[in-house]
Every structure is written in C-alpha cells, then in structure tokens.
Amino acid sequence: MIVQACINGARVRDFHPKLPLAAEAMASDAAACVAAGAAELHIHPRGTDGRESLAAVDATVLAVRRTCPGTLVGVSTGAP
C-alpha cells in the first residue's frame, strides 16, 4: 500500500485557518505527513496572493524536497 498525502488541494484561504498556502508551510506539513507514513505528496503551489500559480512551482517543490528528500512529489494547479 502507498499512502499519498494531499497537502492543500484546490481550496481557498477561507477553507481552514491552517491551510498551507506558502511554500514553507507546505514543506512543513509535508514533512509531518512523511513522518506519519506518507510515501508520496501532492501539492497545489500558490503565489503570494494565495492563488494557484505556475510561477510558484519551482520554489514550492524545492522547499518540499528540502524537507522530504527522496519523497515523490506530484503537482497540480488550476492556474490559467
């Protein structure tokens, strides 16, 4: 069995006060998920405005890989 942790999804900021939208917040939550047994991660990178963004992919994936080296990272975005 493989456990994939979906860190934030396509949810908006108002969904939950702890929803990780910044790269470092996603990386921190990703590390907690891997420590709890997740083997894969799924993230929706966000820009500084909290909206899904292709421009944020590099920085977000790098932050997650720093905290979770060797863990598979999948990316989705609803960015235009």
* Number of neighbouring beta carbons within 10 Å of residue 3: 11
Per-residue tens of pLDDT for the chain, all 80 residues? 999 999 999 898 899 999 999 999 999 999 999 999 999 999 999 999 989 999 999 999 999 999 999 999 999 988 77
Residues in the chain: 80
* Number of neighbouring beta carbons within 10 Å of residue 65: 15
Spatial CA neighbour of 51 closest among 19, 10, 16, 15? 10
- Tell me how far apart the alpha carbons of residues 69 and 31 are, in angstroms, rounded to a whole number: 10
- Residue spans of the domains in the chain: they are 4-75
* pTM greater than 0.85: yes
Instruction: Quote the Cα angle for 47-53-28, to 5°.
Output: 55
Strand partners, 52: 46
